[in-house]
Amino acid sequence: MPDQKSLRSPALAFGFALLALTALRIGVAAVVTVSPDEAYYWVWSRAPAAGYYDHSFMVALWVRIGTWIFGPTPLGIRLLGPLSAAAASLFIFDAARKLGAGRGYAAALLLNATLLFGAGAILMTPDTPLVFFWTLTLWAMARLVAGGSGWWWIAAGIAAGLTLDSKYTGALLLAGIGLWCLALPAGRRWLRDPRAWGGLMLALVLFLPVILWNADHSWISFAKQGGRTGDFHPARALQFLGELIGGQAGLATPIIFVLCIVGLSVETVRVVRTRDPVSGLLVALGVFPALIFIEHALGDRVQGNWPEIIYPAGVIAAARLPACRRWLKPGLALGFAMALVVYVQAVASPIPIGGPGDPTVRLLGGWNKLARAMVLHAHQAKASFVAVDEYGLGSELALRLPGALPVLSDEPRWQVFSLPHPETAVPPGETGIFIRTTRRHTPPDAAPWSSMTLLGTISRGRNGRIGESYELYAVTLAPGAASLLTRLPSGAEP
């Protein structure tokens, strides 16, 4: 029997490694420029609601909590990202132990070494709370499957409901657990236990506010996400499948991706042959959603972040492989090295991999300089507002411009938001500056303006590389503009 010192040493090493990794992620999150989507979720946080145009409410709540502590800063917006990643690592560690994956360290380390998990720890998107609550649900189910009390169904139900409140992909979690219950003898016995049904009811109750919000807003969010399945192109199936596999091999990092694929394949064979409940759980929460994404790729592109939910089960299956011990160190070394390169590139874009082709330049480059330039142009033109017709651009400027220079948006999506100051607060006849990306080749909507004059172009970027260019117009508010424009909240306001 191993002595206490031999058990304590790996635990201390793992604990210190996790603390150091979390500190690094907090530091990176604090200095990386806020991306347009993150600025958009910050706007959500200023308009508390049970649902939003694109997703459920959890990301807005997390941003609200972080900015309550640190204000509308990069760290405030992202605070719960690195903290939830650390907590999820502990849940994966314990779940792996309960499911027979050694002491659990390998699974937790493998998950942290994936680019998907590492990026989610420094950026704030709906996937950040999604993966955390998905992992929490897996942990509760692991406790149950390992012989724990039936009351773990209640914990699993609460976690699953919060997963749905994070992103609609959480429906695959409930479906996977339901599949486990129906397909295996160990699962079917729980169908007679009221605690299992109580967990399901709790999940649905927690999701009910999102349903009611959608019902009150013409099901707009459900329709937007459900509409992704309506435009299929089967002739491009091979292209989409290739992008899915290649993208995941890069985002999970190659060695970890192969370990997860082999591990989940072994678990699939085992559950078919033996009806093993542990293997069945890993298949239900790893293989089942993977098959859904593969099916989607037969006719449409799968975004690289969608399959992130596969990896909590995938790394446990990988850690259960005998070959994992041999490939663990190379996999971790490659994964963390790739993550470090991504972190450095996100902070400063030192590697010249192209202008707009580099996402760190295109998405992160030059926002503060653009905001300062807009203040200067507004002063020179005696403009009383800045106008946009794109939600990402508008959110970035709203976050950065002073409150005295309001941002007005000609974007229909804002009509379903309960923003704190929806009125334009600018009378007809006032002049402003309208900024619009040059990527859009159609003429701007002239309805809100009684006059519009092209002033020139402006660009933003990083290290001499242009991320995006914009046209600037001098505009005058038309008499009916108040019904067409929405004033966005300002990051300069409390």
Confidence check: pLDDT of 241 > 90: yes
Judging by DSSP bridges, how do beta strands 407-409 and 386-388 pair with one another?
parallel
- Which band of pLDDT confidence, cut at 50, 70 and 90, is reported for residue 1? very low
Distance set, CA 428 to CA 421, 451, 478, 490 (Å): 17, 11, 6, 21
Confidence check: pLDDT of 423 > 80: no
Confidence check: pLDDT of 232 > 50: yes
Confidence check: pLDDT of 214 > 80: yes
Q: Round to whole Å and give the CA distance between 432 and 405.
A: 9
Q: Round to whole Å and give the CA distance between 266 and 363.
A: 40
pLDDT in tens, 427-444: 788 999 999 999 988 999
Instruction: Say how many C-beta atoms besides its own lie within 10 A of residue 486's C-beta.
Output: 22
- Which band of pLDDT confidence, cut at 50, 70 and 90, is reported for residue 419? confident
Q: Round to whole Å and give the CA distance between 184 and 379.
A: 69
Q: Round to whole Å and give the CA distance between 61 and 55.
A: 12
Q: Round to whole Å and give the CA distance between 432 and 453.
A: 11
pLDDT in tens, 119-155: 989 999 999 999 999 999 999 999 999 999 999 999 9
Confidence at residue 234, expressed as pLDDT on a 0 to 100 scale: 81
Average confidence (pLDDT) over 412-421? 84
Cα–Cα nearest to 266, from 217, 313, 331, 312: 313
Judging by DSSP bridges, how do beta strands 486-487 and 407-409 pair with one another?
antiparallel
Instruction: Say how many C-beta atoms besides its own lie within 10 A of residue 193's C-beta.
Output: 12
pLDDT in tens, 400-412: 999 889 999 998 8
Architecture (CATH level 2) of domain 364-487: 3-Layer(aba) Sandwich (3.40)
Which tokens is 23 given?
């500190």
Confidence at residue 424, expressed as pLDDT on a 0 to 100 scale: 64
The residue type at 467: G
Average confidence (pLDDT) over 291-316? 94
Confidence at residue 99, expressed as pLDDT on a 0 to 100 scale: 97
pLDDT in tens, 72-111: 999 999 999 999 999 999 999 999 999 999 989 999 999 9
What are the φ and ψ backbone dihedral angles of 123, each rounded to 5 degrees? -120, 155
Q: What is the mean pLDDT of the chain?
A: 93
CATH 3.40.1380 residue window(s) in the chain = 364-487
Q: Round to whole Å and give the CA distance between 45 and 19.
A: 28
pLDDT in tens, 13-58: 999 999 999 999 999 999 999 999 999 999 999 999 999 999 999 9
Instruction: Say how many C-beta atoms besides its own lie within 10 A of residue 454's C-beta.
Output: 10
Confidence at residue 9, expressed as pLDDT on a 0 to 100 scale: 82
Instruction: End-to-end CA distance of the chain: give it in Å, rounded.
Output: 59
What percentage of residues in the chain have a pLDDT greater than 70? 95
State the pTM of this model. Answer: 0.95
Confidence check: pLDDT of 296 > 70: yes
